[in-house]
Structure 1
Amino acid sequence: MMRLAAIKASLRGPNALPLRPVDQVMDLERLGAMHQSRLSFMRILVRRIMLERWQIDTARLDLCADGYGTVIYEINTPQGLFSFVIFSDYLSPEERNDRVIASKWDLTMALVEGRVDDEYLAFLRQNVPLQEAGRVDSRVFVLSRANRSARNFDYVVEQLANGEQPDVAKIAKVGYLYRTTAVYGSGKLGMADWDKVSSRYPDFARPFAAEMFACLMLRNFSLLQVEHIARSRNPQQYNPMQPEIKRYFGIGNSTGLGMAPYLINHPMLINQWVEMRELALALVRTLGHIDESVRRQFDVLLARSARHMAETLTEDAWQTENNRRVIEDLAALQQQASHSLTDWNELLAWSEQHCSLQGQELLVSVLLELYPQLVDGLDDYYCVEEFLDLDPLMPLQQLKAVIERRYDWALKTDFSQTGARDIFWYRSEEKMEPRLGECALDTGKEKQMALGVGYAVYKCYQQLCQYIQEHPQHTTARFMVARPKLRGIVRRIQSMDRCVYGDIQANLLARDILPMHLLRCKLSFFGVSKFDPRSKLWVRNTMYQGAPLLEDIGKIYNDDWFMPLAPGQQGEA
């Protein structure tokens, strides 16, 4: 904590760290252009596992020849014992459905505190496969489910059973064997809530650490299962998968609107994530001389990133064009750096003039990759106490000034313009999942979620100005008595003024809002790659591609799986 205090102290004064402006960083389109980095949750988790040498063993392997049955892994960490329980069941093609409305899956899983005996296993077997229709207890941290890849799973089994390796070019099109459709935690369905996990289990006390670990274990099981089925099918010819090909398999993920409200409902936490990333960039920007080894690594990472983007396939025309432009940006950055590279500030400024937003933000991720000694320690500060406190003694003139300074983006929005308030967000009654409604077509606006922060601030400001005309000397307390319905937004305004970055600057009620930016922002903090939008409301992506395997734990670890490439391409890059 002393290091963070020293860094934050350097934000002030004549020699302050060069943080990027709030209106630049918190712009929704820029947030939606971010990429994975060293500070992404998957990278942080894998670093911890590898450096602390967690012991992960198969305590129970009860699979039939076709891969159906039960598997239990036991995880011994420096600070606890946990179990990861997997139920693999037959799923007919007619029942397979990746949408949240599905009721059956190929795999269902649970991350559990302690060792699982037969009695507790029976309890889990009754409830985990039901997912939302079941109920678990507070020993469970995470519930998840996943379906096999129709394009890869059977193909890989067949190749291994015939003594051959999967074709890397085919794998590159779909870099996973399973795709998870939901990962639940934080108290849902009877599970342990975040207060319990963060206070009692330090191994998973960082945001989404338990959820990310469940996905990592799913990836390991997917590799174990295909080899198990292939060996059972043809033991004479069976050939295990080569380790470099194994590492290229990740886990697929389908993410929809469920993630979007989180970014709005946890503003202080999102501010903290963004602030740590911007602090890391600021520390890099303060460096003077760039030595020759860093220059060479910079060239390698740019080339690797370009190859990674070229290997990212999508049927979405918008994303295809984005990827093409990023590849052009990377080539331009490499050329510019070869001609003139005296410091990173200069290159960042050049990128803002000549590159797309996604190209600019990928450059940020590459710069963070170059300096682990500056960056890695900041992951200790991702948690924050989320209290939106009301300051009743704040003079109303000061509250008005805060809104004008911190929420000028909301005051500049013309909410009377056609399309500015055409959308409302709500939760479906069946699955309690977020949905978008159109005010002109759909009923239920009275049950909308409070995600229109910009409009709420705008309305608050209008009423505040009217009140100040009559009572210019009053405090916030008197204003709250007169306007009690504004208490929530005033509390948010005052609390976010204590943050460096604050709220996402976007009107989420506008007809042309693109929720994809919200999804991608959060997914970039998770550490996913290869975004493949299926509409403006949901996206497929890949997790843990290139990450080390469980059998790599205990070996030398250099944490170099940023923008992974298909095997055989690493040296070329």
Structure 2
Amino acid sequence: MLDQPTPLPQIALRAPDVVMRLRRMGASFPTRLSFLRVLLRRLSAENAQVARPVWAMDGDGFGHAVYSVTFGGHVYSLVAVSTDLPPELRTDRVIASAWDTAYVLYDGVPCADEIARIVATAPLQEAARFTARDLVLSRANKSVRLFAHTVERLRAGQQPDADLVRSTGYLMRTTAVYGNGKFGIADRDVFATRDGMGGPFMAEMLTVWLIRGFTHDLVEHVGGAPLDAHLKRHLGIGNSTGLGMAPFLVSHPMLLNAWITARETALARVRAIETLEDAQIEVIYDLVKRAAQHLSEWQVPDHIGQQRIDQMRREWPQLAALMTPDAMTGRMPLDHLWLASAKFSIDTQECLAALLIEPFGNLVDDLCASMATEQHATLDPSMTCADLQALIDRDWAWAMCDYDQPEACHQFWYVSEAKAEPRLGLRHKEDGAALESPLDIARQVAGLVPHLQNGGSVAQLLARHPEHRAAVRRVQSLDGAPYAEIRDNLIGRACLPIDMLRCKLGFFGAAKFDPKSDRWTRITLCQGAPLRDELGNADNWWLPTFDA
């Protein structure tokens, strides 16, 4: 019998009733477990080289290019198409029909015929048809002001204004990055078993990183001169994300559980460290300084968002003051620090959680392998109603309230027919509740409870009340998955969808959240990430700062 590996020491994981509240989920920060970080570590480990076999751009930057990279024993190619977009057609809405640039991540190296096909179809996006060789479909628009400014400066033999680069942070922003079978592209199953591609959203993250490099090349081509490497490194990829992303976390509860479990286990392992070495303490001090600099550079127009950032700026020196030499050289220093942070805001606590994980890749990086899951919802008709009630009593007390009260059913989720996007309606003011999407998980489970009093089996219950089938399956399937459910009422007045967006985007690796309302936000991806020729140093860009 093979010896089993000795489990790493860890503190008890944080309780789901703490972790899975919307307000805390909405304070998420990127960590070394974020998918972009995982991807770039793998590219670095393989000494991956990015080639550009095709560059067919005119002087104004319109045409196409192909980038290829070998990864996990397979070659993947980004086909990038740049077109002349009239200003009146430029919009970041997902329902737009034209964009500055369009992209396909292709499985292999495309021949001339395949390039011609993609060049013709990629700009059409949803209106076109694609093949199983097309793995990811995306599009992006220019940040017109910064792109034009950079071109102007480069043509004049100068670099772009550093303050403008710092405040904008990207030359283009994507409006969608589609994977998993959308519009005829490959299902995830086509490549999920390949080396390096089994983690969540690996193909999409590879696409975004390659797009970021293309934006650098394009502006240098049009400007006729190279960008300063420091400025280039700070130019990531922007993204505008709205309600369309929010339902994902509800409809993929086992995946959410895998993500959160990995992060919480990482924090628990780090908190269990008995003593720190001097070099580890110095790294933590450096990260504390970096986080302070990041916070000082993070400005948003949103009043509530800026208030939260300002509070973090005030609290961060107080947190740093707790990290005295005596405290950091004592026993269980990180656990003591974590417990002491309870007096600070949720935002400061979650930033600290990300920071504590950062220096200890040797303890936590193995958890990345557990962040994808093939588990699916199942229903057990033989379970007794008494046992089902016991599961609800244990895991769902948070969902029990009077949903006839206007505050508790204030809003409803639906899909807009005109705009093909998830939307929120106000139940007591707007029509459409009859077409409600089933994101009212808490209400569904609460509505099931009165019918459990009659006893018997789940099969008998559902024979009498088939309308509760989804709620029963949800409760049963999430037994043993403590972080699978958002423990808040998603149709209540207090629900802010942006908290769900930030949680998911934090796992992607996003930073510089710039909320535009409680329903959509702008972010930056790959900011501070290594360039194509810098993969030898691929893992030191947590919370990037402009001065780094």
- Please confirm whether the aligned pair reaches a TM-score higher than 0.5, indicating the same fold: yes
Residue in 2 aligned with 1:142?
A: 136
Within the alignment, does 1:557 sit opposite 2:537 as a pair? yes
Within the alignment, does 1:362 sit opposite 2:355 as a pair? no
Q: CA deviation at 1:558?
A: 5.5
| Kept after mapping to 2: 8 A contact 1:54/1:78 | no
Within the alignment, does 1:350 sit opposite 2:336 as a pair? no
Structure-2 separation of matches of 1:149 and 1:284: 40
Instruction: Identify if the C-alpha distance between structure 1 residues 128 and 422 changes in structure 2 by more than 3 Å, giving closer, same or farther.
Output: same
| Kept after mapping to 2: 8 A contact 1:329/1:355 | yes
Structure 2 letter corresponding to 1:531: F
Instruction: Identify if the C-alpha distance between structure 1 residues 452 and 304 changes in structure 2 by more than 3 Å, giving closer, same or farther.
Output: same
Structure-1 separation of matches of 2:483 and 2:99: 41
Q: CA deviation at 1:449?
A: 1.2
Q: CA deviation at 1:418?
A: 2.6
| Kept after mapping to 2: 8 A contact 1:316/1:532 | yes
| Residue from 65, 68, 88 that aligns with 2:62 | 68
Deviates more, 1:259-268 or 1:508-517: 508-517
Residue in 1 aligned with 2:457?
A: 475
Instruction: Identify if the C-alpha distance between structure 1 residues 16 and 206 changes in structure 2 by more than 3 Å, giving closer, same or farther.
Output: closer
Deviates more, 1:393-402 or 1:173-182: 393-402
Structure-2 separation of matches of 1:167 and 1:546: 17
Structure-1 separation of matches of 2:442 and 2:102: 39
Give unpaired runs (5+ residues) of structure 2.
none
Q: CA deviation at 1:431?
A: 4.1
RMSD over equivalenced CA pairs, Å: 1.8
Structure-2 separation of matches of 1:17 and 1:305: 25
For normalisation by structure 1, the TM-score amounts to: 0.92
| Residue from 363, 367, 378 that aligns with 2:367 | 378
Residue in 1 aligned with 2:397?
A: 408
1:152 alignment partner, SS class: helix
Structure-1 separation of matches of 2:365 and 2:42: 11
| Kept after mapping to 2: 8 A contact 1:18/1:285 | no
Structure-1 separation of matches of 2:542 and 2:261: 21
Q: CA deviation at 1:485?
A: 1.8
Within the alignment, does 1:290 sit opposite 2:276 as a pair? yes
Residue in 1 aligned with 2:429?
A: 441
| Residue from 503, 506, 510 that aligns with 1:524 | 506
Structure-2 separation of matches of 1:429 and 1:119: 36
| Residue from 91, 95, 100 that aligns with 1:97 | 91
Structure-1 separation of matches of 2:119 and 2:302: 39
Q: CA deviation at 1:69?
A: 0.1
Structure 2 letter corresponding to 1:278: E
Structure 2 letter corresponding to 1:171: V
Structure-1 separation of matches of 2:23 and 2:486: 10
Structure-1 separation of matches of 2:482 and 2:428: 38
| Residue from 184, 207, 211 that aligns with 1:218 | 211
Give unpaired runs (5+ residues) of structure 1.
232-237, 469-473
| Residue from 69, 73, 95 that aligns with 1:79 | 73
2:262 alignment partner, SS class: helix
Q: CA deviation at 1:430?
A: 3.5
Structure 2 letter corresponding to 1:187: G
Instruction: Identify if the C-alpha distance between structure 1 residues 496 and 196 changes in structure 2 by more than 3 Å, giving closer, same or farther.
Output: same
Counting matched residue pairs gives: 543
Deviates more, 1:382-391 or 1:540-549: 382-391
Residue in 1 aligned with 2:407?
A: 419
Within the alignment, does 1:330 sit opposite 2:316 as a pair? yes
Structure 2 letter corresponding to 1:494: Q
Structure-2 separation of matches of 1:440 and 1:363: 41
Instruction: Identify if the C-alpha distance between structure 1 residues 58 and 429 changes in structure 2 by more than 3 Å, giving closer, same or farther.
Output: same
Structure 1 letter corresponding to 2:524: T
Structure-2 separation of matches of 1:167 and 1:210: 33
Structure-2 separation of matches of 1:16 and 1:251: 36
Structure-2 separation of matches of 1:58 and 1:375: 35
Deviates more, 1:157-166 or 1:207-216: 157-166
Instruction: Identify if the C-alpha distance between structure 1 residues 74 and 29 changes in structure 2 by more than 3 Å, giving closer, same or farther.
Output: same
1:198 alignment partner, SS class: coil
2:66 alignment partner, SS class: strand
Residue in 1 aligned with 2:148?
A: 154
Structure-1 separation of matches of 2:113 and 2:431: 47
Q: CA deviation at 1:294?
A: 1.9
Structure-1 separation of matches of 2:3 and 2:162: 44
Q: CA deviation at 1:461?
A: 1.1
Structure-2 separation of matches of 1:69 and 1:203: 31
Structure-1 separation of matches of 2:533 and 2:522: 28
Residue in 1 aligned with 2:521?
A: 539
Instruction: Identify if the C-alpha distance between structure 1 residues 16 and 40 changes in structure 2 by more than 3 Å, giving closer, same or farther.
Output: closer
| Residue from 47, 50, 53 that aligns with 1:53 | 47
| Kept after mapping to 2: 8 A contact 1:329/1:359 | yes
Instruction: Identify if the C-alpha distance between structure 1 residues 78 and 512 changes in structure 2 by more than 3 Å, giving closer, same or farther.
Output: closer
Deviates more, 1:413-422 or 1:446-455: 413-422
- Report sequence identity in percent: 38
Q: Structure 2 matches for 1:97-496, cutoff 5 A?
A: 97-199=91-193, 201-231=194-224, 238=225, 240-338=226-324, 340-341=327-328, 342=330, 343-352=333-342, 354-411=343-400, 413-465=401-453, 467-468=454-455, 474-496=456-478
Q: Deviations over 1:221-273 (max 9, x none)?
A: 01001111111xxxxxx4x2221221111111100011100000000100010
| Kept after mapping to 1: 8 A contact 2:10/2:265 | no
Q: CA deviation at 1:149?
A: 0.6
Structure-1 separation of matches of 2:506 and 2:379: 32
Structure 2 letter corresponding to 1:279: T
Instruction: Identify if the C-alpha distance between structure 1 residues 78 and 505 changes in structure 2 by more than 3 Å, giving closer, same or farther.
Output: closer
Structure-2 separation of matches of 1:64 and 1:558: 33
For normalisation by structure 2, the TM-score amounts to: 0.96
| Residue from 472, 475, 488 that aligns with 1:506 | 488
Q: CA deviation at 1:156?
A: 1.0
Deviates more, 1:415-424 or 1:212-221: 415-424
Structure-2 separation of matches of 1:166 and 1:520: 30
1:397 alignment partner, SS class: helix
| Kept after mapping to 2: 8 A contact 1:51/1:557 | no
Q: CA deviation at 1:393?
A: 2.1
| Kept after mapping to 1: 8 A contact 2:30/2:511 | yes
| Kept after mapping to 2: 8 A contact 1:266/1:386 | no
| Kept after mapping to 1: 8 A contact 2:414/2:435 | yes
Q: CA deviation at 1:16?
A: 6.8
Structure 2 letter corresponding to 1:409: W
Q: CA deviation at 1:323?
A: 0.8
| Kept after mapping to 2: 8 A contact 1:197/1:204 | yes
Instruction: Identify if the C-alpha distance between structure 1 residues 433 and 249 changes in structure 2 by more than 3 Å, giving closer, same or farther.
Output: same
Q: CA deviation at 1:502?
A: 2.6
Structure-2 separation of matches of 1:546 and 1:72: 23
Q: CA deviation at 1:447?
A: 2.0
Structure 2 letter corresponding to 1:511: R
Q: Deviations over 1:408-447 (max 9, x none)?
A: 1002x33233321121111122443111112223333222
Q: Deviations over 1:313-343 (max 9, x none)?
A: 2111111111111122221110112274442
Q: CA deviation at 1:25?
A: 0.9
Residue in 2 aligned with 1:235?
A: none
Q: Deviations over 1:487-541 (max 9, x none)?
A: 1111110111121323110101112310010000000000100011111111001
Q: Deviations over 1:9-59 (max 9, x none)?
A: x7xxxx874211110111111111110000000101111111112232111
Deviates more, 1:417-426 or 1:183-192: 417-426
